[in-house]
Structure 1
Amino acid sequence: MQTHVKTLGILHIVFGVLGLLIGISVFLLLGGIAGLVAITGSGSDAVVASPILGFLALVVLGFTLVLSLPGIIAGFGLLNMSPWARTVMLVLSALHLFNFPLGTALGAYGLWILISPEVTAAFESRARFA
């Protein structure tokens, strides 16, 4: 089961980093489009569209940070077998169930691993010694 816990941690780190990369890419794309609209636009539509696109880029970046960073942090916590990481990962795994199809698979795998008696006992024994 120790291998499954490490695998779950690595999967969450990978998915979190991919989410961050996608979020940063969309941020740069929307920010670039907003800049192009501001530079090339001459009408009143450009004045309105540019700040909206810039704000949308910030919202996308913030959204991906909020969704990706906890998975990355908890993934590293699972690799270190930190007791707090199990609690965080249980919550994240439950939330991932709504993200069909890959998130559902990752969430179900996470819940299956983290709820098993063997893993629960391992994390509880680590918590006693911490």
Structure 2
Amino acid sequence: MKQNNFKELEKHVTMLGWLHLGLNLFTLFIGVLVFFILIGAGMLSGNGEAMSVLALVGIFVLGILVLVSIPGMITGWGLLKRKSWSRLLALIIGFLSLMNIPLGTLLGVYTFWVLLAHDEANDYFVAYST
């Protein structure tokens, strides 16, 4: 592998790691925000039943977004630490991110471009794992 290609790929993998981490932290933030908005709306209604229902919906939404965000944050951390397993996980998360229009789609396409279009990508992660 050429040293120049190695450095170029290293920049892209670092950027990819931060993007996975950032987008999934943003998703987690949205979940927390929706949770508090729903709790606040329930409290403003003054109706005990509405407050209970909105609290359950808020917990459900937050739970789903936490479950969706955790693998992406682990992927970002793995890419930043150059873990060998992170390449496969990033490809899986990148594929699943394609459905999250528009930011997830951009992240998925960038993930595929970095990890599949560069012939050195597999060697790059193997070199760091040894």
Task: Report runs of 4+ in structure 1 exceeding 4 Å deviation.
Answer: none
Whole-Å Cα distance in 1 between the matches of residues 103 and 23 of structure 2? 10
Cα RMSD of the aligned pairs, angstroms, is 1.4
Matched, 1:126 2:128: yes
Residue 108 of structure 1: aligned partner: 109
Q: Is 1:70 the equivalent of 2:71?
A: yes
- Give the distance between the partners of 2:30 and 2:126, measured in 1 at CA: 36
Cα distance in 2 between the residues matched to 1:83 and 1:30 = 41
Structure 1 unpaired stretches of 5+: none
Runs (5+) with no aligned partner, structure 2 = 1-8
Name the % identity: 36
Per the alignment, residue 7 of structure 1 pairs with 15
Aligned to 2:54: 53
Shift of 1:3: 0.6
1:22 aligns with 2:30: yes
The whole-number CA distance in structure 1 between the counterparts of 2:72 and 2:65 is 11
The aligned amino acid for 1:55 is L
CA distance in 2, matches of 1:83, 1:35: 48
Equivalent residues of 1:16, 1:72 under 8 A apart? yes
Larger radius of gyration: 1
Cα separation, 1, equivalents of 2:84 and 2:13: 12
- One-letter code of the match for 1:34? G
TM-score by length of 1: 0.85
CA displacement at 1:109 relative to structure 2: 0.4
Cα deviation digits, residues 81-105 of structure 1 (max 9, x gap) = 0011111111000011111111111
Deviates more, 1:117-126 or 1:105-114: 117-126
Alignment partner, residue 98 of structure 1: 99
Do the aligned residues in 2 keep the contact of 1:2 with 1:119 (CA within 8 Å)? no
1:32 and 1:101 map into 2 onto residues whose CA distance is 29
Secondary structure of the 2:120 match is helix
Rounded to whole Å, the distance in 1 between the matches of 2:102 and 2:38 is 26
After superposition, give the CA deviation of every residue in 1:64-90 in whole Å (9 maximum; x if it has no partner). Answer: 101112111110110110011111111
Cα separation, 1, equivalents of 2:78 and 2:67: 17
